[in-house]
Structure 1
Amino acid sequence: MTEQLEVRRAAVLGAGVMGAQIAAHLANAGIETVLFELPGEGADRSAPAQQAIERLAKLQPAPLATPAYARRIRAANYDEDLAELADCDLVIEAVAERLDIKRQLFEGVAPHLPPAGVVGTNTSGLSVNALAEVLPEGLRGRFCGIHFFNPPRYMHLVELIPGAATEAAVLDQVEAFLVTSLGKGVVRAKDTPNFIGNRIGVFSIMATMHHAERLRIPFDVVDALTGPAIGRPKSATFRTADVVGLDTLAHVVEGSAPRLSDDPWVGYLRLPDWLRALIDRGALGQKSGAGVYRKEGRQILVLDPERGEYRPAQPQAADAVQTLLAERDPGRKLAALRASDHPQAKFLWAIHRDVFHYAAHLLGGIADNARDVDLALRWGFGWRHGPFETWQAAGWRETARALGDDIDAGRALTAVPLPDWVQAVEAVHTPQGSWAPAAGDYRAPSPLPVYCRQRQPETVLGGPRPPAGETTFETEAVRLWHLEPDVGILSFRTRSQAVSREVLEGVLAAVDEAEARYRAVVLWQDSEPFSVGADLKQVTAALDAGDFDSLERMVARFQEATGRLRSARVPVVAGLRGMALGGGCEFVMHCDHVVAAQESYVGLVEAGVGLIPAGGGCRELARRAAVQAPDGDPFPFLRHYFEAVAKAEVGRSAPEARRLGLLGPNTTTVMHGQEVLHVAMAHARALAEAGYRPPLPEPVRVAGREGLANFEGMLANYRAGGFISEHDHAVARAAAAALCGGEVESGTEVDQRWLLRLEREGFMALLRSEATAARIRHMLETGKPLRN
């Protein structure tokens, strides 16, 4: 095999929810994919697979980055189309999670599998070796477990599980493909039941349910305690169970228990009576309208298991426990929870203790090192920190002693002692690497070449840190720095990378500095989001003071800052991942090239706070429409942009942002967010090598008053139909004026400064209205738009 796994064509066996969504994500990556399902009975034997492809458009969250990508998936059936497998570079099985069904399928398709491709199983916990037994010996070296978490597009984790015969080179190639081509975080797991993520994650859920029942903690309070308060997702425990489906959770738990007969904790892998009762009466969670929670009108109800009835949910922890959780030092926090007599505190200590105990006991058997366990829980279950990170942050030795005391006193779930290595180490994560019990040493992060593309890789607490780079210029709001001496990196330092006055001044100064020091610049943020847009707190403070002059100066300075990116003597490339909203989007729009992670969320959302883009965004859209108009009439292209601005539409992927016109043809899409900086630096350097010169500010042909009249007619209809409010109309009218170039003859070529003045004047007029002020304050207070 070659050093690279080049997947030009793939196949997915099984068109259920998981299989169809794996096919969708392969399509997102630009891979032609054949989706197999059992044959139908009609004339079109592939109709069941085709129906699964069509259902993708109805699923939320959307499995496809843009609906058009469904065309990259072809429906097939096992009776007529197996010959197509031979031309596939990758085949992934994703049928029902039963060993007999999977083995039967592999026996049937084995003669048709590709002679040189890779074959994987998407099992969530069955033995990879048991599945490999039914394959020809020559194929076993290219067979492995490839376990995607659901939903495959959004869940970062993929567990890669070798069989006894899997070739090491094959694993390396598959890992590189999963990382770069599919954008995944890969953890290698050993071939043990449920692998890493589900083994510990499902245990954590069941232990939480056990202690909630033992200490009589209401379900809504459990969710208040086990969500963001301890670094877990907002859906916490019972809401997560409802979202996943109580029947699905039951299938996982009950399917796991027989495979874990030698696990000392297996007795806790059982469904509580109240959960079984819910399933028996069809209350399966979110998909059935009722589960642990039920919604009646606007009210959320939660099950009281003792009464068997629902009551209004009151998800709030006790004040005393909230005080304990507010402690910032992890060691003092865990110690305080352990020492408290409050049932909620005892509950929190117990669920931490049991996960620590379980993870330590399993580590050497399920994973190579502690880093893989922590990343599996972070990427697969949304934990802020994995169990070993949390334990180490709280004090490794002190916490180990507390665990030992509880085990000795019979307070832990089992009497199994902690493994000897726990007492032998001072920490599991060190700058040298993470503890690997089998090796008796610390294992550095993977040396595979694919990880050299991640200039600032994800790290674990206490583990190796990425290079900080060398700073050449910084203020409180921005930093100009580099990893390599010829390409500068410009980053914002405000909360959520908000665009403040200080950011604008910093950008202007940093570009001056960059022109003197670097051949090119990348606009990049060290963490997501890219930017949430304007600092609304600064705007509100000026509004409250009635200081409109300073606000207008800020808008003018904003236009100057984005324009400075466009006019810089060195190329500026945006490295985009996460959200780029409002002003953040406008900064991106003014760069010479954009390298965007596929999971980027881009929008000019100013209409949500009663404003229009005024950092050059309207000017830039008018310019793009003029460039796109071969017959000189920009209106057909402008209409598309107008709707995106007036409706505050957000592209929920880089391809969708391109469809909306917010990302232009100068965009390169990258699947893995951690590779964006590497690719952006390469593009910036390539532009410099090509003898870069900034674009000249050419005049823009505008739609003028005729285009404005067309927009006015559309808005009048929307207003008459009650689809928009009076202030929505005012905002959209201001956007139309800025995009059309105002009251000039259609087809007039105007100076770009004219367009900047129009968007600035429209912005300021709206800012002076009480309706816009109310929208801004409401957004600050609630985080949600106000329709007034």
Structure 2
Amino acid sequence: MNRNIKKVAVLGSGVMGSRIACHFANIGVEVLLLDIVPRELLPAEESKGLTLQSPAVRNRIVNQSLDTALKTNPSPIYSKSYVSRITTGNFEDNMKEIASCDWVIEVVVERLDIKKKVFDQVEEHRKAGTLITSNTSGIPIHLMAEGRSADFKANFCGTHFFNPPRYLELFEIIPTADTDVAVVDFLTHFGDKMLGKTVVLCKDTPAFIGNRIGVYSMLALTHLVEKLDLSVEEVDKYTGPAMGHPKSATFRTADVVGLDTLVNVANGLDQNAPNDEAKGVFQLPAYINKMVENKWLGEKTKQGFYKKEKDDKGNSVILSLDLKSLSYKEQEKVKSATLEATKPVDDIRKRMKVYEGGTDKAATLFRAMHYPLFEYVSNRVPEITEEFYRIDDAMRAGFGWELGPFEVWDALGVRETIAKIQTEEKRLPGQRGEVAAWVHDMLAAGCETFYKVIDGVKNFYDIASKSYAPIPGAEDLIVLDHIRDEHTVWKNSGVTITDLGDGVINCEFHTKMNTIGGDVIQGLNKAIDLAEQQYKGLVITNEGKNFSAGANIGMIFMMAVEQDYDELNMAVKMFQNTAMRIRYSSIPVVVAPFQLTLGGGCEFSMHADFVQLHAETYMGLVEFGVGVIPGGGGSKEFALRASDEYQPDQIVQNTLKERFLTIGQAKVSTSAVEAAELGYLQEGKYAITMNRKRLLADAKAKVLELANAGYVQPAARKDIKVLGNQGLGIVYVGASSMRAGNYISDHDKKISEKLGWVMCGGNLSAPTEVSEQYLLDLERKAFLELCAERKTLERIQHMLTKGKPLRN
């Protein structure tokens, strides 16, 4: 049957339920969010004369839960306007409305008896063929299906989102023996393309895949702390970004998740996985049990492995827990020769080899945690999954690891690491020093790695056939790492241009934070030259953590300090000219941004023929923070867009004001949707890709669509209406009143006036139509004048040294 998910019911509005509801609203689905009816009135409700039959009371729990979710930061929803897609209700009055839903997701408390009661109601009201799934993280899925109708069982499985559902990519699907294969296929497709998730098919085993391996890994570290005499801050320093793990590392992550949650999963694994050879790892060290007893559970109880306090001067300080005395102390600085050695190694795979080869405590911990992990994950195949790559997918998508355990093993060398596992002395409970037989079979079959890229497609070692096979779906993706070596067209120190096939090339930045300096500008112009000469079109994107943090302000600072204004003028002009080439080249240019897209990265996006952006794109013109205005065409572009929005009989200053404030307040979008709302994207000239892995393929497809439709080079604009003094008066009055109210500094006022001067077209006596080049020249002049200001240089220096803006 063809399925179309138009409306979803989410049963249970707690932390997970309310946020799952928000994410479905994000993708345009109508949501019915239900929860229980309160049994008692609150004093405030009694004082208003309400009763238990009042709708406001009956829906209090669900409404409060949704309200709490919407107030969290980061937000679970792309845009406040999307909240209207969520309708709230309760199990008693509104359960019958699930008859209009295409998918019912149960997210109630983790008790089988309660879940079964909820499913009794679902069975009564759902229409045949409706999907029913449970978001449980621990209860066996097959137990929930017992006693249900054949249609219920065929359409039922587990769908486990990780928290927070908007941001964590892992989406585990856990079918039962009765689940229709077509249901699994549909959910896999929907999770990938619509929800933007990494979909991992799991067996119905304790904690499924993500938590089984993730909790094992975290608990292994709690045992190694004692074995290796490590402190809390040492573990978090060693197991953070240097190792390819999130900044929160191990113990900070435990504080965020909640120690009680970690303990509950550990106890469940200890009880429900009796044949797990490493189950001793799930038996908690004494200090963990004592912390739980003391209710030191992390952020929810204001203390865990870390505790925030005020010092004698009233400043906030974060203390760490001494695991021997169980008292809090000042954090100690952690130094490591191994970590220092890893810093210059950007390639995560090469960094793993450097990390493993160290001789200090950090390297000892690396080996002591990874060797038993490799043994453990090899033994989980085929218990929790038939295909080992799903374990790597789960750890990357659910726990934020850059590499999954098998990928790390590949980086270290499979064959040589097996010998080290056999001789490792710091063993964990259940570790025997021997990996699963299938790994030895793999090596015997002549396959030296778990993964292998063949013709640009990532393959994995297939245990059944003892040969490599493409990872399902990999052929639909374009991964620069997999094609760069063989298909590089041109490169310099900051850019690589790669042939994507079908007449499309990609220009990729690879500077620090993908900042834009002379090498990137050169590379972009070279890419446009090549595309105009030999190809159908150009994509601009990369596979870094962020699309671009903007212009290289270190370069700007150096030229400004040395008062080399001719050189600075030339650099800014080159930046502007590059933005204009992106817009006015003879071939279609699609920019595909994601994550941080600031300053120049935003300006290049604003000048593209089309922007194919990831849903999680944080876009903004933030130049005010370093004391200047957007100088790469951003100020000009907002003047142009304001001009296009002016309507007859409209107070045009209001339109200008909105555009002005977006730059003046350095507004950064919290999603791709909000980027459009802030005016960084134009209607009909952008599309959102939910799954980051599909972004480059989608961008390439758009280039081909534009080229095949008969792309025509646009003409530069000469009809931009600027308001001159009519608009400047509003800008100056507004800046003066903000300064008088002490909302901005004198320098902020000066920057505001410079921006207004550009956006209004300078000192013109009446509204006038001007060209883009006219505005670019004004923009560049204002930018250079601000770079000559001492306070601007102070702001740039502060950003370079402290990493945050200075208000002076």
The residue aligned with 2:15 is: 17
> Would you say the 8 A contact 1:368–1:436 is kept in 2?
no
The CA deviation at 1:324 is 8.6
- 1:288 paired to 2:314: no
The residue aligned with 2:41 is: none
Q: Output one character per residue of 1:23-59: Cα deviation in whole Å (capped at 9) or x when no partner.
A: 1111111111111111343411333222222222211
Pick closer, same or farther for the CA change 1:219–1:471 going to 2, 3 Å: closer
> Would you say the 8 A contact 1:92–1:121 is kept in 2?
yes
The residue aligned with 2:54 is: 43
Question: How far apart in 2 are the matches of 1:69 and 1:351?
Answer: 44
> Would you say the 8 A contact 2:549–2:597 is kept in 1?
yes
Pick closer, same or farther for the CA change 1:84–1:230 going to 2, 3 Å: same
- 1:709 paired to 2:729: yes
The residue aligned with 1:787 is: 807
- Map 1:504-519 onto structure 2 (within 5 A): 504-519=521-536
The residue aligned with 1:456 is: 479
The residue aligned with 1:649 is: 667
The residue aligned with 2:472 is: 447
The CA deviation at 1:534 is 0.8
The CA deviation at 1:414 is 1.6
Higher deviation after alignment, 383-392 or 281-290: 281-290
The CA deviation at 1:205 is 0.9
Higher deviation after alignment, 475-484 or 702-711: 475-484
Question: How far apart in 2 are the matches of 1:507 and 1:499?
Answer: 10
The residue aligned with 2:231 is: 218
The residue aligned with 2:132 is: 119
Name the aligned partner's letter for residue 127 of structure 1: P
Question: How far apart in 1 are the matches of 2:731 and 2:671?
Answer: 28
| Counterpart secondary structure, 2:594 | strand
> Would you say the 8 A contact 1:479–1:490 is kept in 2?
yes
- 1:579 paired to 2:596: yes
2:373 to 346, 349, 355: 355
1:692 to 711, 714, 723: 711
Question: How far apart in 2 are the matches of 1:471 and 1:303?
Answer: 50
Higher deviation after alignment, 618-627 or 161-170: 161-170
The CA deviation at 1:329 is 5.3
1:413 to 411, 422, 429: 429
TM-score of the aligned structures, taking structure 2 as reference length = 0.90
- 1:392 paired to 2:410: yes
Q: Output one character per residue of 1:671-705: Cα deviation in whole Å (capped at 9) or x when no partner.
A: 11222233333333333344433333132112322
The residue aligned with 1:674 is: 693
2:267 to 251, 254, 274: 254
The residue aligned with 1:763 is: 783
Name the aligned partner's letter for residue 671 of structure 1: M
Pick closer, same or farther for the CA change 1:551–1:125 going to 2, 3 Å: same
State how many pairs are aligned: 772
Pick closer, same or farther for the CA change 1:325–1:257 going to 2, 3 Å: farther
The CA deviation at 1:326 is 8.2
1:209 to 196, 209, 222: 222
Name the aligned partner's letter for residue 469 of structure 2: A
The CA deviation at 1:482 is 3.5
Pick closer, same or farther for the CA change 1:756–1:223 going to 2, 3 Å: same
Question: How far apart in 2 are the matches of 1:479 and 1:331?
Answer: 24
1:535 to 552, 555, 558: 552
Higher deviation after alignment, 475-484 or 144-153: 475-484
Question: How far apart in 2 are the matches of 1:428 and 1:507?
Answer: 36
- Map 1:252-331 onto structure 2 (within 5 A): 252-296=265-309, 297-319=315-337
Name the aligned partner's letter for residue 7 of structure 1: I
* Stretches (4+) displaced over 6 A: 324-328
The CA deviation at 1:481 is 4.1
The residue aligned with 2:392 is: 374
- 1:658 paired to 2:679: no
| Counterpart secondary structure, 2:104 | strand
Name the aligned partner's letter for residue 9 of structure 1: K
> Would you say the 8 A contact 1:65–1:655 is kept in 2?
yes
- 1:608 paired to 2:625: yes
TM-score of the aligned structures, taking structure 1 as reference length = 0.92
The residue aligned with 2:583 is: 566
The residue aligned with 1:718 is: 738
> Would you say the 8 A contact 2:653–2:730 is kept in 1?
no
The residue aligned with 1:742 is: 762
Pick closer, same or farther for the CA change 1:446–1:95 going to 2, 3 Å: farther
The residue aligned with 1:29 is: 27
The CA deviation at 1:546 is 2.5
RMSD: 2.5
> Would you say the 8 A contact 2:375–2:431 is kept in 1?
no
> Would you say the 8 A contact 1:619–1:752 is kept in 2?
yes
Q: Output one character per residue of 1:483-517: Cα deviation in whole Å (capped at 9) or x when no partner.
A: 23343433334343322223223333432332233
Name the aligned partner's letter for residue 25 of structure 2: A
The residue aligned with 1:499 is: 516
Question: How far apart in 2 are the matches of 1:435 and 1:513?
Answer: 38
Question: How far apart in 2 are the matches of 1:332 and 1:478?
Answer: 26
Pick closer, same or farther for the CA change 1:507–1:434 going to 2, 3 Å: closer
1:93 to 89, 97, 106: 106
1:430 to 442, 452, 459: 452
| Counterpart secondary structure, 1:595 | strand
Name the aligned partner's letter for residue 479 of structure 2: Q
Name the aligned partner's letter for residue 532 of structure 2: E
Pick closer, same or farther for the CA change 1:288–1:702 going to 2, 3 Å: farther
Pick closer, same or farther for the CA change 1:713–1:254 going to 2, 3 Å: farther
> Would you say the 8 A contact 2:138–2:265 is kept in 1?
no
- List gaps (5 residues or longer) in structure 2: 39-51, 310-314, 444-448
The CA deviation at 1:480 is 4.3
Q: Output one character per residue of 1:227-256: Cα deviation in whole Å (capped at 9) or x when no partner.
A: 123221111111111111222222222233
Question: How far apart in 2 are the matches of 1:628 and 1:72?
Answer: 28
Name the aligned partner's letter for residue 434 of structure 1: F
Question: How far apart in 2 are the matches of 1:727 and 1:238?
Answer: 43
> Would you say the 8 A contact 1:224–1:315 is kept in 2?
no
1:200 to 198, 201, 213: 213
Question: How far apart in 2 are the matches of 1:114 and 1:295?
Answer: 52
The CA deviation at 1:129 is 1.4
Question: How far apart in 1 are the matches of 2:730 and 2:221?
Answer: 60
Question: How far apart in 2 are the matches of 1:516 and 1:634?
Answer: 43
The CA deviation at 1:300 is 1.4
> Would you say the 8 A contact 1:223–1:239 is kept in 2?
yes
Name the aligned partner's letter for residue 466 of structure 2: D
The residue aligned with 1:462 is: none
Question: How far apart in 2 are the matches of 1:769 and 1:88?
Answer: 61
Question: How far apart in 2 are the matches of 1:615 and 1:166?
Answer: 55
Pick closer, same or farther for the CA change 1:178–1:315 going to 2, 3 Å: farther
Identity of aligned residues (%): 36
> Would you say the 8 A contact 1:633–1:703 is kept in 2?
no
> Would you say the 8 A contact 2:233–2:320 is kept in 1?
yes
Pick closer, same or farther for the CA change 1:713–1:493 going to 2, 3 Å: same
Q: Output one character per residue of 1:631-669: Cα deviation in whole Å (capped at 9) or x when no partner.
A: 265321221221221121110211111111112212212
The residue aligned with 2:167 is: 154
Question: How far apart in 1 are the matches of 2:490 and 2:243?
Answer: 37
Name the aligned partner's letter for residue 435 of structure 1: Y
> Would you say the 8 A contact 1:106–1:134 is kept in 2?
no
The residue aligned with 2:44 is: none
The residue aligned with 2:43 is: none
> Would you say the 8 A contact 1:625–1:635 is kept in 2?
no
Pick closer, same or farther for the CA change 1:685–1:331 going to 2, 3 Å: closer
Question: How far apart in 1 are the matches of 2:570 and 2:87?
Answer: 55
